[in-house]
């Protein structure tokens, strides 16, 4: 008879305790411990017998021939870009995103593209009936794709069914929180069930060579729900981002054992599903306001792809004792640093103003090269001075007020020239040599104070004084 041990498991981080307590000491969260009963496997073969011996396995030398991981192209270029060139056989991917963002839509399109290419693709849903999945496929014009469907949540039944017939090339599990295995006695969605179910699926993928994609729920702050150990168990973690009010969706690799983690895939949500965006810069800038104060175009790099996006800022007088600082699509700490540098080295006082910063299109910017574009948008809004509509900005702001160089300057300028921008404000130390014809005219900026002086000269006569005297 199996020995059953009751323990209290934190539903946030997976830490185990022998008794209940209000606060988890591992992650610091309150009221996250739940009692679960797990089956403790017995190592002994029987009463009074010694534990069973392990089997021998072969050890290989470090030297030897190496081969690139075999790839299976999904047929969707943006998805393959994020995964590193396609799906790796025997790999397990975890895809997370907010509810309704389009995870199931993306994965049914991937499964349909592989099935139409002659590969066997299986889509198993634990949240919807097969009729509901068919309705979505018909709405996306994928009803003729030979994708095999099932609505099942028992892991043992799923693995037995998959192993009985022809081995699938792709298996989609939607979602891992709905799966359960009879090896543990706890409710589906708990830490123990999610961990055990994921482990069983990973063993099947490594043993058979099938690629498995797991769909994961997310918490209120956007983190994938369940124990963090599941993210360490899988080969790749993909995050599907986007604002519900925007039609753009961003697929980003958070972890990838077989490819880069700085690539993004851009999709547009349409009536026929997710459409690939081959030139996201043109789409992000299609609805920008020309000639309005507080807008600057940032020339960024996402992986190997240059990307132009508009940064919007609004600086308004505040009646609050502590002015508001609201950011969408950028790091809040980075904004605080730029404001502090403007105050300390440029004389731009924002302590009595509310500051709002937004990255247009729902994109999240992570690289520090956006510092100069954000600073230019802030100063432009405060001085009521529109920036040139045909100019781009990029450069990292240091705490001393200097503009530091950034990588891949030539690629940023080339992308700006392709979209018709005639001028680029770049760091003076990182100015590329031998610019080709057709590239934007370069304005090298050495310090943030020089950029502020250039913008202040464009301010209108009705605008308030940008740099205030110390005694004021």
* The two three-digit tokens of residue 1, written as one number: 């008879």
Q: What is the pLDDT of residue 7?
A: 82
Going from the first residue of the chain to its last (472 residues), give the mean pLDDT of each consecutive group of 10, the final group possibly shorter: 65 82 87 72 48 76 74 92 92 90 93 95 94 94 94 95 92 93 84 90 94 84 63 92 78 91 89 89 79 92 90 93 92 95 94 93 88 96 92 95 92 91 90 70 93 83 48 40
For strand 71-72 and strand 92-97, is the pairing parallel, antiparallel, or unpaired? unpaired
Q: What is the pLDDT of residue 54?
A: 79
Asked if residue 329 has a cis previous peptide bond (ω within 30° of 0), the answer is no
**C-beta neighbour count of 184 within 10 angstroms:** 16
Q: What is the pLDDT of residue 116?
A: 94
DSSP at 180: B
Which stretches does DSSP call E strand in 105-225? 121-125, 148-151, 170-174, 184-185, 211-216
Q: What is the pLDDT of residue 139?
A: 93
CATH number of the domain at 72-278, out of 3.30.70.1230, 3.40.50.300, 3.40.140.10, 3.40.50.450?
Answer: 3.40.50.300
Q: What is the pLDDT of residue 185?
A: 81
Q: What is the pLDDT of residue 466?
A: 57
pLDDT in tens, 166-225: 999 999 999 898 999 988 888 888 888 888 999 999 999 999 999 999 998 776 655 665
Looking up tokens 């547009």, which residue turns up?
A: 268
Q: What is the pLDDT of residue 321?
A: 86
Q: What is the pLDDT of residue 225?
A: 56
Euclidean distance between the first and final Cα of the chain, in Å?
82
**C-beta neighbour count of 352 within 10 angstroms:** 11
Q: Please, is 2 exposed, middle or buried when counting C-beta atoms within 10 Å of its C-beta (0-12, 13-18, 19+)?
A: exposed
Q: What is the pLDDT of residue 5?
A: 57
Looking up tokens 């789409």, which residue turns up?
A: 283
Domain residues of the chain, as ranges? 3-40, 72-278, 283-456
- Distance from C-alpha of 422 to C-alpha of 441, rounded to nearest angstrom: 6
| Protein fold of 283-456 | Ribosomal Protein S5; domain 2 (3.30.230)
* The two three-digit tokens of residue 372, written as one number: 């100069």
Tabulate helix, strand, coil % of the chain (nearest 5): 25, 30, 45
């Amino acid at each position: 008879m199996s020995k059953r041990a009751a323990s209290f498991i934190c539903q946030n981080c997976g830490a185990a305790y022998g008794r209940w307590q209000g606060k988890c000491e591992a992650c610091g969260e309150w009221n996250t411990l739940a009692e679960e009963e797990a089956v403790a496997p017995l190592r002994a073969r029987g009463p009074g017998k010694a534990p069973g011996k392990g089997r021998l396995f072969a050890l290989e030398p470090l030297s030897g021939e190496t081969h690139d991981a075999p790839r299976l192209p999904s047929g969707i270029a943006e998805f393959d870009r994020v995964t590193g060139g396609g799906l790796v056989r025997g790999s397990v991917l975890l895809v997370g995103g907010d509810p309704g963002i389009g995870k199931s839509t993306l994965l049914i399109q991937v499964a349909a593209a592989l099935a139409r290419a002659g590969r066997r693709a299986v889509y198993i849903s634990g949240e919807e009936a097969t009729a509901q999945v068919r309705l979505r496929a018909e709405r996306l014009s994928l009803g003729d794709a030979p994708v095999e469907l099932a609505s099942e949540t028992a892991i043992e039944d799923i693995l037995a069914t998959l192993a009985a017939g022809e081995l699938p090339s792709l298996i989609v599990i939607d979602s891992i929180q709905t799966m359960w295995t009879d090896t543990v006695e706890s409710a589906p969605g708990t830490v123990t069930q999610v961990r055990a179910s994921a482990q069983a699926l990973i063993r099947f993928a490594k043993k058979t060579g099938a690629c498995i994609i797991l769909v994961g729920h997310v918490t209120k702050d956007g983190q994938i729900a369940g124990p963090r150990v599941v993210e360490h168990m899988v080969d790749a973690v993909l995050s599907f981002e986007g604002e519900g009010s925007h039609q753009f969706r961003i697929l980003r690799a958070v972890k990838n054992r077989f490819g880069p983690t700085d690539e993004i895939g851009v999709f547009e949500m349409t009536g026929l599903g997710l459409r690939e965006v081959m030139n996201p810069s043109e789409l992000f800038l299609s609805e920008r306001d020309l000639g309005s104060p507080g807008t600057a175009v940032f020339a960024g790099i996402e992986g190997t792809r240059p990307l132009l996006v508009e940064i919007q800022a609004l600086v308004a007088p505040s009646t609050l004792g502590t002015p508001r600082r609201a950011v969408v699509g950028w790091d809040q700490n980075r904004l605080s640093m730029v404001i502090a540098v403007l105050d300390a080295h440029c004389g731009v006082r924002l302590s009595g103003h509310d500051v709002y910063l937004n990255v247009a299109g729902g994109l999240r910017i992570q690289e520090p090269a956006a510092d100069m574009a954000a600073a230019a948008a802030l100063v432009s809004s405060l001085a009521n001075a529109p920036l040139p509509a045909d100019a781009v900005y990029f450069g990292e702001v240091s705490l001393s007020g200097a503009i530091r160089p950034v990588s891949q300057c030539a690629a940023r300028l080339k992308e700006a020239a392709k979209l018709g921008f005639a001028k680029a404000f770049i760091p003076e130390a990182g100015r590329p040599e031998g610019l080709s014809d057709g590239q934007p005219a370069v304005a090298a900026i050495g310090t943030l104070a020089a950029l502020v002086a250039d913008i202040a000269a464009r301010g209108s006569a009705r605008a308030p004084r940008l740099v205030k005297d110390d005694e004021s």
